[in-house]
Amino acid sequence: MYSSKEIVQMRKDYLMPCLGYFYKNPPVFVKGEMQYLYDATGKKYLDFFAGVSVMNCGHSNPDILNKVMGQLSSLQHLTNVYLTSPVVELAKKLSEVLPGDLHNSFFCMSGSEANEGAMLLARIYTGKRKFIALNNSLHGRTYLTMSATDIPMWRADPYLTDDVYFISSSPDRILSDLEAVLEKDNDIAAFICEPIQGNGGIITPPDWYYTEISRLLKRYGVLFICDEVQTGFARTGTMFAIEQYNVVPDIMTMS
């Protein structure tokens, strides 16, 4: 096993320098057990970050490990060319917890891909090209999702599409700003948003927020894409955050 010093040096030697960290001397973690992490010296940390909330059920959770190891021992990867039981079982289980009439799933590799796919689907379904997103949004690092991201540090591509309108997320302005765009441009495929913005400040909108947004979108025939990548799977108290607003989006993404 490499020492922490050796790992930090190897990072400098072999990883792209754009992959920065928030520490001058970053901790090097070698093991996780439920809510705890351990560095190369054996020091124990309580993990409040949880891999950007990915590790909802803890690090190295025995129940999850047993399921994963059981699957790996029987079948690992076949591509979508062939049909397997686990993929349809997962789709069926998702349909049982998804809100409203959402019940068809498309599986990919990341939240960015899920949002990119949702935006492409909206274009194909509507035959329209443009999107509306909120200021301070973060939807991914692929071409369309980065174009729909309003946080400068995540907009690394200097040639992003200008097919995205950004409007204020403020409750005081959201409806008027949204209607102004819908009124002037009839080439809008979808509105995309995080029900609670993660990197945008984790500010919870008021109860009426998505009900009124959804009403406007339906009036103008624009799809509602709900990005539950950071809020889904009971991170906010309900299985999906949008359920707290009694609204069913047209497309929902998760990761």
Domain ranges of the chain: 4-72, 85-253
Residue predicted with more confidence, 112 or 156: 112
> Cα–chain-centroid distance for residue 171?
22
Give the CATH class of 85-253.
Answer: alpha beta
Q: Name the pLDDT band for 190 (thresholds 50, 70, 90).
A: very high
**Residue 86: closest CA among 99, 76, 98, 101:** 76
Q: How confident is the model over 63-98, as pLDDT tens digits? A: 999 999 999 999 988 888 888 999 999 999 999 999
Q: Name the pLDDT band for 158 (thresholds 50, 70, 90).
A: confident
Could you tell me how many residues make up the chain? Answer: 255
Q: Name the pLDDT band for 159 (thresholds 50, 70, 90).
A: confident
Q: Are strands 223-227 and 251-253 parallel, antiparallel or unpaired?
A: parallel
Residue appearing with tokens 């010296």 = 41
Q: Is the pLDDT of residue 12 over 80?
A: yes
Q: Is the pLDDT of residue 62 over 70?
A: yes
Distance, first Cα to last Cα, the chain: 31
Q: What is the mean pLDDT of the chain?
A: 93
**Residue 8 · residue 20 · CB < 8 Å:** no
CA–CA dist 169, 200 (Å, integer)? 10
**Residue 116: closest CA among 136, 146, 86:** 146
pLDDT of residue 81: 87
Give the CATH class of 4-72.
Answer: alpha beta
Q: Is the pLDDT of residue 25 over 80?
A: no
Least confident of 16-25, 42-51, 124-133: 16-25
Q: Are strands 188-193 and 223-227 parallel, antiparallel or unpaired?
A: parallel
pLDDT of residue 21: 66
Long-range contacts of residues 50-54, Cβ cutoff 8 Å, at least 24 apart: 52/198, 52/230, 53/230, 53/235, 54/255
Percent of the chain with pLDDT over 70: 99
Q: Is the pLDDT of residue 20 over 70?
A: no
pLDDT of residue 24: 74
Q: How confident is the model over 196-246, as pLDDT tens digits? A: 999 899 989 999 999 999 999 999 999 999 999 999 999 999 999 999 999
- Residue 4 neighbours by CB distance under 10 Å: 16
- Residue 168 neighbours by CB distance under 10 Å: 14
Percent of the chain with pLDDT over 90: 75
